[in-house]
Amino acid sequence: MTDAATQNDAANPSLNILAQYVKDFSFENPGAPRSLQARDKAPAINISVNVNANPLAESDFDVVLSLNAEAKEGDKVLFNAELSYGGVFRITGFPQEHMLPVLFIECPRLLFPFARQIISDATRNGGFPPLMIDPIDFAQMFAQRMAEEQVKAKVQPN
């Protein structure tokens, strides 16, 4: 790359989605059709979220958003949905210190609406009301993850 091209990239940071894909998806409705009967109260729903990122090339990254949603009534599982939804992103012109926040905040923020729709459609197609996952604060998730990494680094012997 020429110096002019490098300066141009630094002046114009860009984030582009090259591809989006379902990497892994599972929906289980183990108690059907009994699990579909009307109930007096809403089931307990536990949702977990994870984000991973891996480099593919100098400026291309694979970011995978994992969502797991489990609904239970007492100790009985009503449904369990697991989704790994990925995107290939081209990221150029960002300073190195901004790369982790871009990968772990901005990229999953762009993927989330699509993953949310897949989970919503799956629960509806499974016979339940569509599960509309609340928006996720990826910045807070990233800050928590960084704090945990710092604690691990202090605890582990050199």
pLDDT computed for residue 88 by the predictor: 98
Residue 39, both tokens: 């109930």
Banded pLDDT at 37 (limits 50, 70, 90) = confident
Mean pLDDT score, 11-20: 93
Banded pLDDT at 44 (limits 50, 70, 90) = very high
Distance (Å, whole) CA 64 – CA 53: 6
Helix or strand run (H / E) with residue 4: helix 3-11
pLDDT computed for residue 156 by the predictor: 66
Banded pLDDT at 1 (limits 50, 70, 90) = very low
For residue 52, how many other CB atoms are within 10 A of its CB? 14
pLDDT computed for residue 157 by the predictor: 62
List, for residues 66-125, the tens digit of each pLDDT value. 999 999 998 999 999 999 999 999 999 999 999 999 999 999 999 999 999 999 999 999
Residue 38, both tokens: 């009307």
Question: What percentage of the chain reaches a pLDDT higher than 70?
Answer: 91
How far CA 14 is from CA of 4, 8, 91, 107, in Å, comes to: 16, 11, 6, 12
pLDDT computed for residue 77 by the predictor: 94
Do 126 and 137 contact (CB within 8 A), yes or no?
Answer: no
Please indicate, yes or no, whether the overall pTM of this predicted structure exceeds 0.75.
yes
Checking if the pLDDT of 158 tops 80, the result is no
Mean pLDDT score, 11-19: 92
